[in-house]
Amino acid sequence: MSARRRQSKTYSDTSLLSSSYRVLVATTIHPIFTQVLREHGWQVNTLDSVNEQALIQAGKSGQYDILVVGTRTPVTERVVHAWQGKIFARPGSGIDHLPFAALRRWKVRIVRTPEGNAPAVVEYTLLLMLALLRWFPRHLAAGVVRPWRRPLDAMGELLAGKRVGIAGVGHIGWRLASVLTQMGASVLCWDPFVSVRQVRQLAGAQKVSTLQELIACSDILTLHLPLTATTREIINHETLRYARHPLYIINTARGSLIRIPDLLVALDEGIVQAAALDVLPCEPEFRDAPWWDSLRRHPRVILTPHMAGHTVESREWVARLLAQKLLRVMRWRRGEGF
């Protein structure tokens, strides 16, 4: 055993976790996050006014080891520079709003919780899927505006027997595939980072080799991909033309995975039967986009305000999980001399 490894063994869990690290919170997070860390002797403060200059000043002060950021925290290259060598903690999964080149250059590590809200997103995706198939908005309107008049032209379809294409088989896509197979749907998966062998572990699921094949073989397409340079606007005129019959589309991942003007054209041309979008490009400034009015008024589009991952339970679980991950990361740094 090396001297370095022998040295790491001399630390007990208690001594490692009792070191007082300093955390600055620059986003909304459940109080359990602060509670867990303070129980281990950590100092946790909240930034009152979250703006670029305040983040830069806090980083340059050298008072903090960790910055907790959210999707609306203005993390610019200047902010990353001010926090060089430190840790950014992200409650949730999406990090596409962060400047990756600057993070690598200034050696800022990201700790996040992509698995924390997966059950909530799976349930919400299923909710939107069923709402599209059963024309639930029409039924709701018929029950309120014209009480108890059945809209027989919106009778709906069963999920059982449908071919559901899942683009992205991470924490969320994997769970969703399992639920869908139990509900009688045929599940197709496309993910360039997941092997055929892994997909076969899901009874009844089948992996396809391209997104085009996934679209061509699916009745329903649900998106669970991260937003990267290669996945941005991956659903567009070119890919949608592979649909062999009207397609239902659900997006609870990232708004910019879909090129909205092309989606609207596909809806009008009958290539897409209906769409349910919990996310939109450029949130929340999308109201200035030229396509916004057409999208929100479209009779076959359901829009929800980025709520898929938000439940009472998931909010607390994400916060607790993030705190536990930070405790482990800092324990490892201290014990291994990282």
Beta bridge partners of 222: 166, 250
C-alpha to C-alpha distance for 283 and 224, rounded to whole angstroms: 18
204 Cβ neighbours under 8 A, 6+ residues apart: 181, 186, 187
- Residue 233's region, left for phi above 0, alpha for psi from -120 to 50, else beta, is left
C-alpha to C-alpha distance for 329 and 335, rounded to whole angstroms: 10
Q: With beta carbons less than 8 A apart as the criterion, state whether 167 and 224 touch.
A: yes
Q: In whole angstroms, how far apart are CA 210 and each of 153, 155, 224?
A: 35, 33, 15
C-alpha to C-alpha distance for 170 and 173, rounded to whole angstroms: 5
Residues that are catalytic: 254, 306
